[in-house]
Amino acid sequence: MLIFDVFQSYDNNCVEMDVFCMGGESRRNDNNWNSLERGKSMTVSSRGRYALRMMIDIAEHCGVGFVPIKDVSKRQAISVKYLEQIVSQLTKAGLLRSGRGSQGGYTLVKTPKEYSVGEILRAAEGTLAPVACLADPDFNCNRADFCPTLGFWKGLHEVIDRYVDGTSLQQLIKGKGPGKRAK
């Protein structure tokens, strides 16, 4: 039985798969992997998760005007300071509009069905690419021409993009997003 482990080389910022047998011996023959880090996982950070929660909260409460960030903070149990950082990114990306004054706060710029989860996550997280060589089009990986895993990473990136871009904020609000757990 084989176990796959992901390693990232900080020398060339290229990610490779390493294959281990159940006994733990490596089948990798490359000896140039001195600066590797185990245990990196592809996860959406709290910033991305909180951005989604914030957008859902604002969508659910913006029918009465602008939604104050302190109200979102109370309902979502997220600090105002952290939400201010996130809302700045969402506003800069054109996903929210701000209002000042006593009735100020934030509101959506379009309807919930017009937002994709992908655009919200990208505004909060940046790229959703699973590896550095796909995250930046200007990144020049010196292994790209002969990297045996590059096609796999490109395919995974396409699947991620299709999934998050195919799910709307409205679907999350209604609890009808893909992968919904049965109650």
CA-angle at 151, arms to 122 and 26, nearest 5°: 105
Give the range with max mean pLDDT: 2-16, 76-90, 134-148: 76-90
DSSP element (H, E) containing 48: helix 46-61
User: What digits encode the pLDDT tens for the residues 75-134?
Assistant: 999 999 999 999 999 999 999 999 998 888 999 999 999 999 999 999 999 889 888 888
Residues 6+ apart with CB under 8 A from 77: none
Task: Set out the domains of the chain in order of their start, with CATH numbers.
Answer: 2-30+127-156 (no CATH), 46-120 (1.10.10.10)
Question: Each residue of 158-183: pLDDT tens digit?
Answer: 999 999 999 999 999 998 777 665 45
Q: 179 or 30, which is more confident?
A: 179
Question: Which of the pair, 10 or 140, is modelled with greater confidence?
Answer: 140
Q: Which of 106, 4, 17 is nearest to 61 (CA)?
A: 106
**pLDDT at residue 9 is higher than 80:** no
